[in-house]
Amino acid sequence: MNQAGAPPTPLIDARPGEARERPAGTPAPARRGWWSLGRPGRDGLAWLVALAAFLAYAPAFWWGLPFATSAQTVHGWDVDGIAGIGVLSEVHNLLRPTPDWYTAYPVLHYLLLATVYGPYMVWLKLSGGLHAVAASYPYGLTDPVTTLRVLALLGRLVTLGMAVGTVAAIYVIGRELWGRMAGVLGALFVMLMAPMLYYARTSNLDVPVLFWSALAALAAVRALRQGLTIRRALALGALAALALATKDQAYGAWVAGVGYVALVRLREREVPRAARWRSVLALCGSATAVYVVASGIPFFPGRFISHVHFLLDFKGEFFNLIHANTLTVLRPATALGGLQLLGDLVAACAAALGPVLLAAGILGLAVGLRRAPASRVLAWAVVGFFALVLVPVHHMQYRYALLPAAVLALFGAYLLAAGLKRGGAARALAAVVLVLGLGWEVVAASDLTYQMLFDARYAAGDWLASHARGGDRVGYFGAEHQLPHIPPGVTPVQLSPEMAPAANAAASPPEAALRSGAVRWVLVVPDYSSDAARDRSLFLPAATYAALRDGSLGYRRVARFATPSLIGRPLPYLPYVNPRVQVFERVSAR
């Protein structure tokens, strides 16, 4: 009992089941909602971290915007980005479904971007920039080049904002678990990860799903530290559902994460049984209801069913598995295959964080779970992601490392912050590891930014603009995302039979088409299916490539563009950034 004879008031930041008395006269801690990232008057570091993230990601976020002079160049260079024409196509298909509807991703982020696009589309309609909507190029747009670039830019601004919010949330998670120093270091480590810098500047779904996951992780940590109230349960369920409705890969992390929070709540014997079950039911009910609505099930049930069919048949529909490449290696469904898959995940995390910070993260994980039990939900999220997502699909991609690498970054930050607070050898060792780890990340981040700013395709596009003439045809092999800017009036022609749509494919096999002079120019650019030397796409057969180079097909190389790396090596896992470009011209065209 306190001096007034009233029952002791438990501290709100005590772990569930470990409420402690607050000494008499001690003011109650300030209450924070799950949405709080720290008010400027109380914790300006959250806003400084957000500002640092914005300054880190803003350079080159315009990299590879589409230059839509034809139907083949409407997507830009960010492979699997959905902004721009992807959103317009999705909205069109929601209103008028088509047989070739691409439903690989959930609908939520499309609808979010469509909302952002709304005012601009209204302005286009009123100003004459948009006529009758059409399903084919130029889609009813008066100026598709400008319009699609603006739409892509708006989509990337949304991603950029989510990336900044993710880094701020990482800071708050670290602060709440281990203190401000751990929060700052964790935010820095995540901010400078190479995949984070890349995806923060594109319109892929990987940063948006990480954003919702980071907010869900923050809600889970606060629920574990302060108790799973109804309000916190509703918030956690909603945020986890939004992550899943953004990209399906979140389900593994949050089935495990939400399940862990619910289990901890049900085991709190000091809380009445009815109260425990109410909060758990609120958690599960919120997650279910928000997912159903955010996935569009009541509004677009056919679209959701089509999406589920895609997921169930991903091996028959996923391009990277149909056409094997070095970035997507399918592992066998065996114990050895599982170990290989774990090795792939560790290798991708090492490429994201660097070997020094990876080692610090693994060691910090072993120690930090005991020091801050609420951090266990982060570990369970990674375990669930690996067991329920990677193992069933039998393959690993670089983007999949974002969540595990962010969790390891937080635990590495805890370990280094704890070492820096100690004296003597521990502080010196932590300082050395911090300098080496941050130095590795800064160098890798600088190199990635440099290669995005000075991508060789910019110079190649300028060269084509000054040498190609209206009516020329430019042949290419592989994905259209690799193409430099194609001048207006010049037609790109897909020369890969495995990929080319019937309306755009050459009338004969590639070598026959080249010998017949079907195209004046040939572009050789590696893509995500490039060979080990990153000289060409694997959709350009080696024999055809050799014949191009020796002139036996009637072409000669007239230009080559390459921007060397700052550190003398290609970017791991990101072959679609700054590829070398070779331009061949038909000899008889001169």
CB 573 within 8 A of CB 327: yes
Mean pLDDT rounded to a whole number for the chain: 88
Are 470 and 388 within one domain?
no
Q: Would the pLDDT of 179 be above 90?
A: yes
135 band by pLDDT with thresholds 50, 70 and 90: confident
Name the residue with higher pLDDT: 33 or 221.
221
Residue 525: per-residue pLDDT: 93
Residue 517: domain span: 458-589
Name the residue with higher pLDDT: 511 or 267.
267
Q: Would the pLDDT of 358 be above 70?
A: yes
CB 183 within 8 A of CB 390: no
Are 359 and 464 within one domain?
no
- 366-371 contacts: CB < 8 A, separation 24 or more? 367/414, 367/415, 367/418, 368/177, 368/178, 368/411, 368/414, 368/415, 371/178, 371/414
Give the domain-ending residue among 409, 425, 453.
453
Residue 132: per-residue pLDDT: 80
- CA-to-CA distance for 390 and 347, rounded, in angstroms? 14
CB 133 within 8 A of CB 140: yes
Residue 531: per-residue pLDDT: 66
> Which structure tokens are listed for 546?
């050799």
Are 378 and 232 within one domain?
yes
Q: How many CB atoms lie within 10 A of CB 216?
A: 30
Question: At 494, which helix (H) or strand (E)?
Answer: strand 491-494
The dihedral through the CA atoms of 93, 97, 100, 103 has a sign that is positive
Instruction: Give me the sheet containing 521-524, strands edge to edge.
Output: 491-494, 473-476, 521-524, 581-586, 555-561
- pLDDT, one tens digit per residue, over 548-587 is 999 999 999 999 999 999 998 878 888 889 999 999 999 9
- pLDDT, one tens digit per residue, over 470-504 is 999 999 998 888 999 999 999 999 887 665 544 44
Give the domain-ending residue among 453, 474, 496.
453
Residue 310: per-residue pLDDT: 87
Q: Would the pLDDT of 381 be above 90?
A: yes
Burial class (CB in 10 A: 0-12, 13-18, 19+), 126: exposed
Are 468 and 366 within one domain?
no
DSSP-derived secondary structure letter, 533: T
Are 404 and 465 within one domain?
no
Whether 506 is covered by a domain: the verdict is yes
Give the domain-ending residue among 453, 468, 501.
453
- CA-to-CA distance for 316 and 94, rounded, in angstroms? 24
Whether 179 is covered by a domain: the verdict is yes
313 band by pLDDT with thresholds 50, 70 and 90: confident
Whether 46 is covered by a domain: the verdict is no
Are 343 and 462 within one domain?
no
Q: Would the pLDDT of 311 be above 90?
A: no
Residue 415: partners with Cβ closer than 8 Å, 6 or more residues away = 360, 361, 363, 364, 367, 368, 430
**What is the rounded average pLDDT of the residues 20-25?**
39
Whether 340 is covered by a domain: the verdict is yes
Are 449 and 487 within one domain?
no
Whether 257 is covered by a domain: the verdict is yes
Q: The pTM is what?
A: 0.90
Instruction: Please give the backbone phi and psi of residue 208, each rounded to the nearest 5 degrees, phi first.
Output: -55, -45
Residue 12: per-residue pLDDT: 33
CB 409 within 8 A of CB 361: yes
133 band by pLDDT with thresholds 50, 70 and 90: confident
**What is the rounded average pLDDT of the residues 31-53?**
68
Are 315 and 373 within one domain?
yes
**What is the rounded average pLDDT of the residues 49-69?**
96
- CA-to-CA distance for 520 and 523, rounded, in angstroms? 10
Are 417 and 297 within one domain?
yes
Burial class (CB in 10 A: 0-12, 13-18, 19+), 114: middle
Are 239 and 378 within one domain?
yes
Whether 20 is covered by a domain: the verdict is no
Beta bridge partner(s), residue 20: none
- pLDDT, one tens digit per residue, over 459-472 is 999 999 999 999 99
Whether 116 is covered by a domain: the verdict is no
Number of domains in the chain: 2
Residue 316: per-residue pLDDT: 57
Burial class (CB in 10 A: 0-12, 13-18, 19+), 336: exposed
405 band by pLDDT with thresholds 50, 70 and 90: very high
- pLDDT, one tens digit per residue, over 98-118 is 888 889 999 999 999 999 999
Residue 13: per-residue pLDDT: 38
Closest CA to 460 of 563, 561, 579: 561
Whether 490 is covered by a domain: the verdict is yes
Are 237 and 348 within one domain?
yes
Residue 395: per-residue pLDDT: 87
Residue 499: per-residue pLDDT: 58
Q: Quick one: what percent of the chain has pLDDT higher than 70?
A: 88
**What is the rounded average pLDDT of the residues 429-434?**
96
**What is the rounded average pLDDT of the residues 407-421?**
97
Q: Would the pLDDT of 63 be above 90?
A: yes
Are 547 and 492 within one domain?
yes
Residue 324: per-residue pLDDT: 61
